Amino acid sequence: MSYFEIIGGRKLNGEIEVKGAKNAALKAVAAALLSKEKWVIANFPFIEDTNRILEMVEDLGVKVNRGDRGNKRDGERSWVEIQAKEIKKSRLNDKLTKKLRASIILAGPVLARMGEVRMHHPGGCVIGKRPIDMFLDGFQKFGAKVKWQNEHFRISAKKLRGAKIFFPKITVTGTETTMMTAVLADGETILENAAMEPEIPMLAEFLNKCGAKIRGAGTPTIIIKGLKKIGGGILKLIPDRIETGTFAILGALAGSRIKIKKCDPDHIRALLVNLERAGVRFEEKKDELIVWGAKNLKPVNIVTHEYPGFATDLQPPFTLLMTQAHGASLVHDAIFDGRLMFTDILNLMGADIIMHDSHRATVHGKTKLHGRKIASPDLRAGITLVLAGLIAEGKTRIENIYQIDRGYERIEERLQKLGANITRRK
Ligand code: EPU
């Protein structure tokens, strides 16, 4: 099993490019199944999660062509082509579904194209309870029948009808899945209390280019007029805002000066405001962010929130940042109930973090971190442990790095270019 070996304490300097957004790529692959025509998804990140969703699509009999160093598409060397002329089966692969929470997003397009979808309950990150009730309620509102037996669902509908759906709780993937399904439903769909993450208007804009009729994406109310079919084209993914934010925190923790390229600082506004409050110096341009290493960090309390609030995916690296601030800061993850568990590992490395309950912890700083042998519990905690290793004294060995490879493409090579001493070993 591969692991990362990190020798901490080096000052990092230079440039790092942000890849296309993982959570936009996963949804774009699913949405491509709505069309019989070719979709090219450019600026595509080749990471474990996107590999898994492409495998799932191929398993359904859909043609996928991966280009990760060939001809440029829409100015990008990294792209995939997907053409779902026909979908050969309605049963999602069990093994892959259990590996990837986001596999649920395939349910909507497969149901819309095939009149049926069968799948195992999706698996994925261990960051707390991840029910799918709002997806199932949504499908039922479109007129589908949902049957549940032995951990498997069968969702079926001869015809999907547009519906009015109010989400009792804001859900990112739930919003995306119902929005996609509505594109091929009969009549009008209104989604209320919808999520507003930037990946949603990106997808809606492209679906509209393919002929769909979606209004209001990026606001809490999305209105979709259903159609019989949509076309294809080239979709360029937006930069990954979680990578951007993670690299900004890395810059504050370990950088002398780090330039983050090909990013959109507007997408991490809530983080930037809090970095400023913590005393981190940065300069932003349209698609660049320069961050300087921070000397005297101040403690800042944060509460995670749906977009445009503080992203839960940036909570773990921000919690690490607070271990280097002078004083106590309260971290409240309001979205997931398992996202602070990794603080135990930071404590093993020398941090002083006290959990009050599954959502809240107080970080007491400043603490010196020491290298240890540890394992990555999930994706965002995993990258945080990489950052922790980079500022810790001595050697850190991180196991279970599949969890990190799920979301960050060849991260060790990109960090090495900044001067980090990190090696992938077998
Ligand atoms: N929820 C329900 N029922 C549902 C769906 C969600 O109760 O049917 C709850 C969840 O348990 C959670 C809250 O609603 O407490 C919000 O969950 P949401 O559905 O918004 O999360 P998601 O769509 O499953 C996406 C990202 C996550 C990110 C969250 C929150 C993808 C593939 N995943 O998850 O990203 O943390 O939104 O922003 O888009 C990651 O990339 O590491 C990651 C976990």
User: pLDDT per residue over 154-168, tens digit each?
Assistant: 999 999 999 999 999
Question: 143 alpha carbon to ligand 1 midpoint, in Å?
Answer: 24
- 263 assigned to active site: no
Exactly one of 31, 125, 191, 248 is catalytic; which is it? 125
Q: Answer yes or no: is the C-beta of 53 below 6 A from any ligand 1 atom.
A: no
Q: Answer yes or no: is the C-beta of 175 below 6 A from any ligand 1 atom.
A: no
CATH 3.65.10.10 assigned to domain 22-236? The reply is yes
Look at residue 99 in the predicted model and tell me its pLDDT: 87
Question: Using CA positions, which residue lies closest to atom 6 of ligand 1?
Answer: 171
Q: Which amino acid would we find at residue 418?
A: L
Contacts of 8 (CB under 8 A, 6+ apart): 369, 371, 389, 390, 391, 392, 393, 394, 395, 396, 421
Provide the 10 A C-beta neighbour count for residue 187.
12
Provide the 10 A C-beta neighbour count for residue 150.
6
Is 103:119 a contact under the CB 8 Å cutoff?
yes
Express each pLDDT in 337-383 by its tens digit.
999 999 999 999 999 999 999 999 999 999 999 999 999 999 999 99
Distance between terminal CA atoms of the chain?
A: 6
Q: Is the peptide bond before 308 cis (omega within 30 degrees of 0)?
A: yes
Nearest in space to 270 (alpha carbons), one of 237, 238, 241: 241
Question: 364 alpha carbon to ligand 1 midpoint, in Å?
Answer: 29
Look at residue 306 in the predicted model and tell me its pLDDT: 98
Q: Is the peptide bond before 236 cis (omega within 30 degrees of 0)?
A: no
> How far is residue 278 from each of residues 27, 264, 272, measured CA to CA in Å?
34, 21, 10
* Domain chopping of the chain, boundaries: 3-19+239-425, 22-236
CA dihedral sign of residues 378, 384, 386, 388: negative
Question: What is the DSSP code string of 242-291?
Answer: HHHHHHHHHHHHHEEEEEEES--GGGGHHHHHHHHHTT--EEE-SSEEEE
Question: 173 alpha carbon to ligand 1 midpoint, in Å?
Answer: 6
Q: Which amino acid would we find at residue 387?
A: L
Low-confidence residues of the chain: pLDDT under 50? none
| Shared fold status for 3-19+239-425 and 22-236 | yes
Atom of ligand 1 nearest to the CA of 335: 15
Contacts of 426 (CB under 8 A, 6+ apart): 1, 2
Phi-psi region of 352 (alpha: psi -120 to 50; beta: other; left: phi over 0): beta
Q: Read off the pTM.
A: 0.97
Look at residue 77 in the predicted model and tell me its pLDDT: 82
Atom of ligand 1 nearest to the CA of 128: 11
Query: Which residue do the tokens 């829409």 mark?
Result: 74
- The two tokens of residue 360 are 């809240």
Question: 130 alpha carbon to ligand 1 midpoint, in Å?
Answer: 7
Atom of ligand 1 nearest to the CA of 197: 38
Nearest in space to 282 (alpha carbons), one of 9, 269, 198, 241: 269
Query: Which residue do the tokens 């093993």 mark?
Result: 348
Question: 24 alpha carbon to ligand 1 midpoint, in Å?
Answer: 13
Atom of ligand 1 nearest to the CA of 137: 8
CA 380 vs. chain centroid, Å, equals 9
CATH 3.40.718.10 assigned to domain 3-19+239-425? The reply is no
